[in-house]
Amino acid sequence: MNKLLPTFAFQAGRRPSPLFLQNVLLAVAVAATCVPLSATAAADVVGTTATSTSQSEASWTSGGVSEEGREEMRQVASRYNVHVMFSEQRGSYLAGIPFTVVRLASGKEQQIVSAVSEGPLLYLKLAPGAYRIAAEVDGVWQKQQVRVGAGGSPARVSFVFRGK
């Protein structure tokens, strides 16, 4: 008694049927959703409303555009020792803000991060030391210095820009 088993092989010179291709795509889609994230990767995921990266001396994440995004940022806040917020004078949050982080050490400055914050909340993990954080809105750069300690509460920095 022969049983027909589904197979992904097809004869050379013959085009696969549309039903075959549809089944292959369905199998790939199902398999992709079943692949678990590693624990390390899951810890770094902040969500679709956030961006995260690690550069040589700093790691950072940004987001908080939606209520869901703000909750995601709250969940990872304890991993970062500098919390930055971007807003207008009237209280509106700002997103898409270019920023830089410069380490200030013994008379020399070293830029360690240059990126764009996806949302109004930017969290940085920096080594202990003195830094200058700069942010730009409408062609105007604001700069603030921050000192990062070895522990304790995160340093908080707010950039408040004049609205148009």
Name which of 64, 59, 156, 157 is nearest 113 in CA terms.
59
For domain 47-161, the CATH superfamily is Carboxypeptidase-like, regulatory domain (2.60.40.1120)
Residue 121 makes CB contacts below 8 A (sequence gap 6+) with: 62, 63, 64, 70, 73, 83, 84, 85
Q: Quick one: which H or E segment has residue 74? A: helix 67-76
The domain spans of the chain are 47-161
Residue 96 makes CB contacts below 8 A (sequence gap 6+) with: 116, 117, 118
Question: What is the rounded distance in angstroms from the CA atom of residue 124 to the CA atom of residue 59?
Answer: 6
DSSP state of 137: E
Name which of 141, 63, 135, 142 is nearest 99 in CA terms.
135
Asked whether 132 and 143 are in contact (CB, 8 A), the reply is yes
Question: What is the rounded distance in angstroms from the CA atom of residue 79 to the CA atom of residue 40?
Answer: 13
Q: What is the pLDDT, as a whole number, of residue 105?
A: 87
Question: What is the rounded distance in angstroms from the CA atom of residue 138 to the CA atom of residue 143?
Answer: 15
Is the C-alpha dihedral spanning 143, 145, 148, 153 positive or negative? negative
Asked whether 69 and 47 are in contact (CB, 8 A), the reply is yes
Per-residue pLDDT of the chain (164 residues; tens, 9 = 90+): 333 333 334 444 455 555 544 544 444 444 444 333 333 333 333 333 444 444 557 899 999 999 999 999 999 999 999 999 999 999 899 999 999 999 998 888 999 999 999 999 999 999 999 999 999 998 999 999 999 998 889 999 999 998 76
Q: What is the pLDDT, as a whole number, of residue 15?
A: 53
Q: What is the pLDDT, as a whole number, of residue 43?
A: 34
Question: What is the rounded distance in angstroms from the CA atom of residue 1 to the CA atom of residue 4?
Answer: 10
